[in-house]
Amino acid sequence: MNNGLLAGCIVLVLSGCASYDGRGLVAGSTTVAEVESTMGQPALRIPASDGSSVLYYPRSPRGRHTYAVTVGPDGKMRGIDQRLTLANIYQLQVGKTTKKEALELFGPPSPENVSTLALSSREVWEYPWLDYQEKRVLWLQFSPDGILREAINARDDWNESPGAGMP
């Protein structure tokens, strides 16, 4: 076995040790180090002025969840919540919500789920998510000034079953 293949296998095995949703973490006593040991390195860490921070764990492109772990200034976990929800989608305001606000609300999209519409120069973020058991996808379109111009929440028929979405 060559070294590259061996390294890849090790990464896969170790990533399998990370908790998908932070199950077992306890608010008020779990430390940042324990969160990262359990869930892996966050894709994004947003610090707040009070010394707290939010760590984001998007589980796409295969998963349909993004977990946000809030950590207090003392380095202890305050809570964990799933951000790709209908309640959060309802907080979006076309013409008002900024990219920064959307990022804080949903966490970062997977790099492969970010694209640009050439004619309108809009950046598009795609978030696959679940509404109970129904697979859905949320597309957010931002104009060059960083303002949300369109939000589309639709059934993800392409991923419902084998052959779904095919004409």
Q: Measured between alpha carbons, how far is 116 from 157 in angstroms, rounded to an integer? A: 22
Check whether residue 52 and residue 92 sit in a common domain: no
Tokens of 98: 């900024």
Torsion of CA 13, 18, 23, 29, to 10 degrees: 140
Q: Enumerate residues 6+ apart whose C-beta is below 8 A from 126.
A: 109, 113, 114, 115, 137, 138, 139
Indicate which CATH number applies to the domain containing 35: 3.30.1450.10
Q: Do 23 and 78 belong to one domain? A: yes
Check if the beta carbon of residue 47 is closer than 8 Å to that of residue 104.
Answer: no
Q: What is the mean pLDDT of residues 114-135?
A: 94
Q: What's the total number of domains in the chain?
A: 2
Structural domain includes residue 7: no
Distances (CA, A) of 74 to 33, 79, 81, 134: 12, 13, 19, 39
Shared domain for 90 and 153, answered yes or no, is: yes
Residue 151 lies in domain: 86-159
Q: What is the pLDDT of residues 140-167, one digit of tens each?
A: 999 999 999 999 999 998 765 555 444 4
Give yes or no: residues 90 and 76 share one domain. no
Residue 22: count of CB within 10 angstroms of its CB: 21
Residues 78 and 96 in one domain: no
User: Are 91 and 154 members of one domain?
Assistant: yes
Are residue 154 and residue 92 in the same domain, yes or no? yes
Interval 52-105: pLDDT, tens: 999 999 988 778 999 999 999 999 999 999 999 999 999 999 999 999 999 999
pTM for the model? 0.81
The C-alpha angle 144, 62, 46, rounded to 5 degrees, equals 50
Do 105 and 130 share a structural domain?
Answer: yes
Q: Is 138 exposed, middle or buried (0-12, 13-18, 19+ CB in 10 A)?
A: buried
